[in-house]
Structure 1
Amino acid sequence: MITWMQRHRKYLVITIWISTIAFIGAGFMGWGQYSYGDKAGAVAKVGDVSITSGELQETYGALFQQYNQLFQGKFDEKQAKQFGLQRQALRQLVNQALVLNLAKSYGLIVTDDELLRTISSQAMFAKNGGFDKTLYEELLKSNHKTKKEYEANLRRELLIQKTLYLLTSGNRSLETKTLSSAMGIADKLNYKILSPNMIALSADETALKGYWEKNKKEFKTEPSYTLSIVRQSPVSVNPSEKEISDYYAANHQLLKSPEGKLLDLAQARGMIITALNDAATEKEALRLYIDFKKGALKSDVTVQKQTLSASNSPFDPSITKEISALSTQKPFLKPRKVGNEYIVVKLDSYNPSVIKTFEEAKQEVNGLYLAEAKKAKLQELAQNSYKTFQGNTTDFITHTDAAKLSGLSTTEASEFLTKLFASKQKQGFVTLESGNVILYNVLEQKLLQDTKVADETTVAKLKGNLLDGGLIKALESKYPVEIYVEGI
């Protein structure tokens, strides 16, 4: 068992570990949403492990947030589609499931004590320097997550982590020395940047229609939800002094100033009355919810009709996500606070995505068609000119000298140098994630006198990169992967 596992080590935990820990730590909300139908339904199966639509939504949301932070809050659903976020999310879940199958085959488990130690160590559940059970339960409840759900997801992620840990091994001195030598190599380059903006193209109607016909399944309307909504406006109560003091006694540790200082009863009085008013409003909303379910709403209650989708919703992401999980079997959403009022939602109908007509998809088709056509033309230009081009000449640079390459962002320069120093070709071209293509010619090469020493983390990461593909391929040959969702 250990011999096989050592031959197929797995280091890149982050690439397959989108965890519940990260979900809670990020604050539960603000992530993109995408609807995959019934939350409980399976979208894929890997060996004996099913992947649910809810897991796909959550992983998609985590990826969306990562990209949104990278794009400084300007990442949207259209860009997510262009980046293939659905496929990325599903790929991560498939990789997780492969490792879970491996764990199951060797009888690996996460004990209750291991789970408890992990939860107790999480900073978001700590108060006054230690784990606070009340805070733990309140944080989960306020974000519509049950203990059972959270702990099941966390146990799953810990099992993945444990399995991957068993596949690690220490670095050998020869590996460190070899990498140190490689890091000490410097190249003198001549390079030129080719950008898609250099290619001028236009698409005629025939070409666009042909592209749409070939890829029409990729151009679909967004799923939407037709809802009936009733609202409970704020209720004002006149609490007695006993009710106020009782509330303070039960919740005084949560009543703090903006600076975090505990408030006395007099200072907290306004906060307490607000909380009691909110509790009374929620209680009325629960009555409204029961009447709504029974079909016994009073005649003066207004029922609003509304249709929303993930990208066009008046509610915050957490409520929108809950609405997307409703079904005809369970169409009601319990009262949720929106602003100062509460809403009760009933799903009237789910409107699945359908293929757009050519006219509906034309603008989107045009953008994607031109992007692909420019990419192909740019590759053709690079192939025809990399042996004869004239560009900028550098001094001797190593793989860490991204700042010395003009005309490229730091990210692009780092990506180019990583691919360059991994190549065996003296002349060639490198295609970057940004779409730019870099032509290069290695003019000279030398080994620096002050050879840089590779640290243990760098060696481990490189080994992980090299062995990553091998492990996943080995597991895919062992555990069949079935995908039930079209277009991903």
Structure 2
Amino acid sequence: MITWMQRHRKYLVVTIWISTIAFIGAGFVGWGQYSYGDKAGAVAKVGDISITAEELQKSYTSLFNQYNQMFQGKMDEKMAQQLGLQRQALRQLVNQALVLNLAQSYGMVVSDKELAEVIQSQPMFFKGGAFDKTVYEKALADNRLTKKEYEESLRKELLIQKTLYMLASNARPFETRALGSALGVSDKITYKLLTPAMIDVSADEAGLKAFWEKHKKEFKTEPGYEISFVRQAPVAELPSEREIAEYYEANRLTLKDASGKILPPADAREAVVAALQEKATEKEALRLYVDYKKGQLQNIPVEKAAFSASASPFDPALTKEIAALNPNKPYLKPRKAGSDFVVIKLDKSIPSRTKTYEEAKNEANVLYTAQLKTQKLEELAKNSYRSFTGTTTDFISRTETPELAGLTPTETSEFLSKLFTSKQKQGFIALESGNVIIYNVLEQKLLQTKAIANEAAVAKLKGNVLDQGLIKVLENKYPVEIYVEGI
């Protein structure tokens, strides 16, 4: 399996699946609450394959963290909503399920041997340059995954890759030449950047209210929680020398210095004492948990808290566990919170709801104003692109990204990509940033000095086109049912 993947990796479509999500350090990100109708166990069904809420949550969290990295940690739920991350996450899972249905129809499988080869090749599970079962099991435990969950998700990923490879097509010489000619076009243009800052608009009340009516399902309150909880402060009692020695012997392989060397008993003593004290604190917290459930707390203060998912006093993982509590199972066993352990009881869940007009007015006004500016900016572009004074470039091509005054590198790349696929000599191009560029192609020529395309580039482009066509065919073959509302 490893040899096969290495030999054919350039043809494989990279799939984002649970096995990848589990090891990127992605914190929990909630997307709100939705109605699941009569299909409470799933958010969608594609052919014979159901998509669970947990899979959707993990797909969403992965996308959220990818965008958060792109935006340098400035990503928030409002931006996620505007970018349609919920829809992207669900679309991703639907596409994967379509391919899995196709794999099942051909009777394709990933054997236990193939699965083991891939797991044992992953550097994240290595120790001393080789696969280590203890490291593997600890990594899964740290990510709150069972072996069954991880291996089933990885098996799905590998099955998708095998299926897509079966349908892959190599690049032919004439395709390489044709793409080379297309990529070899070089343009000399005049362009001008139009930005929303050039537009002045004022949102009228009637228009704003009409905008809210059309989009009001997008303006939701966050889910909220009211809880009671008790704390177990850290146990400060020193463990015995025997307990320290026994713990060190049992855990010495995990007690290492910065260079990876196992610490001697004297150097590891402080860490061992801290671990034993934490263990003793958790043990006391478990007694507190039993007393709390039985209503037998004595002289223990019970604290109260009310919060939303994004304003929780607890870390994201613990907040996720609180969100999973319900009236039938309202108690949560001891969890670490700072230096203490807490035992939590859910008093009330406050579900997400659509905001009233007054509650959503400020948010809606921002989006409505942006929409008005976009419309006015495009009107300005339509009225200006046939006759404008702008900046004239040297000859530019899609394979080399020049610096264009006023544009970021990302905007330049997007502009050139759209410019070289446009059939219009004059026109305008709207960018994802909200800016618009009006342009006029003054002159064209073909580059003759070097090879523009190679077999790998053609195979990648061809593979993308074939994959898009495959998804359309599979959508007609396997019915897609979406049960979740609000996405």
Give the structure-2-normalised TM-score.
Answer: 0.92
Counterpart AA for 1:270: E
Q: Residue 77 of structure 1 aligns with which residue?
A: 77
**C-alpha distance in 2, partners of 1:350/1:46?**
31
Identity of aligned residues (%): 61
**C-alpha distance in 1, partners of 2:306/2:431?**
41
Q: What RMSD, in angstroms, separates the aligned Cα atoms of the two structures?
A: 2.1
Deviation at 1:67, TM superposition (A): 1.0
Counterpart AA for 2:350: N
Q: Residue 469 of structure 1 aligns with which residue?
A: 468
Deviation at 1:28, TM superposition (A): 4.2
**C-alpha distance in 2, partners of 1:471/1:227?**
49
Q: Which of residues 25, 29, 32 is equivalent to 1:32? A: 29
Q: What is the CA deviation profile of residues 18-71 of structure 1, one whole-angstrom value per residue up to 9, with x for unaligned ones?
A: 222322331243x53323469973222222222222111111111111111111
Q: Is the 8 A contact 1:180 1:451 kept in 2?
A: no
Structure 1 residue matching 2:203: 3-state secondary structure:
coil
Structure 1 residue matching 2:243: 3-state secondary structure:
helix
Q: What is the CA deviation profile of residues 87-140 of structure 1, one whole-angstrom value per residue up to 9, with x for unaligned ones?
A: 111111111111111112222222222222222222222212122222222232
Q: Is the 8 A contact 2:22 2:143 kept in 1?
A: no
Q: Residue 249 of structure 1 aligns with which residue?
A: 249
**C-alpha distance in 2, partners of 1:343/1:117?**
42
Question: Judging changes above 3 Å, is the alpha-carbon distance between structure 1 residues 100 and 342 closer, same or farther for their aligned structure 2 residues?
Answer: same
Counterpart AA for 1:291: D
**C-alpha distance in 1, partners of 2:148/2:331?**
21
Structure 2 residue matching 1:25: 3-state secondary structure:
coil
Q: What is the CA deviation profile of residues 217-267 of structure 1, one whole-angstrom value per residue up to 9, with x for unaligned ones?
A: 111111122223222211133322222111111111111123322111111
Deviation at 1:72, TM superposition (A): 0.9
**C-alpha distance in 2, partners of 1:465/1:437?**
27
**C-alpha distance in 2, partners of 1:398/1:266?**
65
Matched, 1:379 2:378: yes
Q: Residue 263 of structure 2 aligns with which residue?
A: 263
Matched, 1:455 2:454: yes
What residue ranges of structure 2 are gaps of 5+ in the alignment? 1-9
**C-alpha distance in 1, partners of 2:74/2:260?**
33
**C-alpha distance in 2, partners of 1:297/1:400?**
73
Matched, 1:444 2:448: no
Deviates more, 1:180-189 or 1:297-306: 297-306
**C-alpha distance in 2, partners of 1:11/1:209?**
50
Within-5 A mapping of 1:425-444: 425-444=424-443
Q: What is the CA deviation profile of residues 379-427 of structure 1, one whole-angstrom value per residue up to 9, with x for unaligned ones?
A: 2222222222221111111113322322111111111111111122212
Matched, 1:57 2:54: no
Q: Is the 8 A contact 1:285 1:344 kept in 2?
A: yes
Q: Is the 8 A contact 1:183 1:451 kept in 2?
A: no
Question: Judging changes above 3 Å, is the alpha-carbon distance between structure 1 residues 460 and 360 closer, same or farther for their aligned structure 2 residues?
Answer: same
Question: Judging changes above 3 Å, is the alpha-carbon distance between structure 1 residues 23 and 38 closer, same or farther for their aligned structure 2 residues?
Answer: farther
Q: Is the 8 A contact 2:98 2:471 kept in 1?
A: yes
**C-alpha distance in 2, partners of 1:426/1:201?**
31
What residue ranges of structure 1 are gaps of 5+ in the alignment? 1-9
Counterpart AA for 1:125: F
**C-alpha distance in 2, partners of 1:318/1:282?**
18
Matched, 1:96 2:93: no
Q: Residue 115 of structure 1 aligns with which residue?
A: 115
Matched, 1:195 2:199: no
**C-alpha distance in 2, partners of 1:239/1:322?**
31
Deviates more, 1:232-241 or 1:366-375: 232-241
Q: How many residues align?
A: 475
Q: Is the 8 A contact 1:11 1:168 kept in 2?
A: yes
Structure 2 residue matching 1:403: 3-state secondary structure:
coil
Q: Is the 8 A contact 1:211 1:365 kept in 2?
A: yes
Question: Judging changes above 3 Å, is the alpha-carbon distance between structure 1 residues 38 and 225 closer, same or farther for their aligned structure 2 residues?
Answer: farther
Matched, 1:299 2:298: yes
Within-5 A mapping of 1:129-208: 129-208=129-208
Q: Is the 8 A contact 1:12 1:465 kept in 2?
A: no
Counterpart AA for 2:389: Q
Deviation at 1:331, TM superposition (A): 3.2
Moved over 6 A (4+): 37-40
Q: Is the 8 A contact 1:230 1:303 kept in 2?
A: yes
Counterpart AA for 1:83: L
Deviation at 1:276, TM superposition (A): 0.7
Q: Is the 8 A contact 1:34 1:310 kept in 2?
A: no
Give the structure-1-normalised TM-score.
Answer: 0.92
Q: Is the 8 A contact 2:189 2:441 kept in 1?
A: yes
Question: Judging changes above 3 Å, is the alpha-carbon distance between structure 1 residues 454 and 33 closer, same or farther for their aligned structure 2 residues?
Answer: same
